[in-house]
Structure 1
Amino acid sequence: MTRLRAFWRGDLPLDEAFWTWTVLVGLAINLSAIIALLILLSLDRPWEALIAGYAFTVPYNIMAVIGTWRSAKRYQGPRVHADLARGASVILMTVLSLV
């Protein structure tokens, strides 16, 4: 839980914030939610599917963008890396939120 809190605050290195928390964890959470959504839809439970599909993913996706953005702000390397991480996190999390 402390790593998640550090991610939210932007205290993690940019590479960990982006690759671990935004890409890997974000994809795992979103893929799990899509699977749950499809299973619930096949069981004709649309309201539960809606909740399973968006109740955890959208808040996490917002947190991933904010955590990456904050880590990018503190990044000491080339500015282009920070800007690319910001842009990629916004695009990735937006697409995953809409799927």
Structure 2
Amino acid sequence: MILGGILINGMTTAFNLVLVTRDLPITGLIVGYAISVPYNLLAMIGVWRASEVHEGDPGVATGMRWLAVIIAAVLCVT
């Protein structure tokens, strides 16, 4: 989730900056968030669902759930 989020967010941020420098700020904003936010949400849901079937310590699974939520929120906002 973290590596994929960084790659997707880095690419969309770069593309967003290119569009903004070409005087297309609305298009840049839409493209920047239309790709990264759905990816981050799907990755977070995947981690959440995987932690439900984790056979180890339930405390670790709960911690990973909330860590995924925090990471996804940070990646969606930035």
Structure 2: runs of 5+ lacking an equivalent: none
Aligned residue number for residue 6 of structure 2:
27
Structure 1: runs of 5+ lacking an equivalent: 1-21
Aligned residue number for residue 86 of structure 1:
65
> Are residue 53 (structure 1) and residue 19 (structure 2) matched?
no
Report the alpha carbon displacement of residue 80 of structure 1 after superposing the two structures with TM: 2.0
**TM-score for the superposition, normalised by structure 2:** 0.91
Q: Secondary structure at the match of 1:56?
A: helix
Percent identity reads 37
Distance in 2 of aligned mates of 1:61 and 1:68? 11
Distance in 1 of aligned mates of 2:72 and 2:53? 21
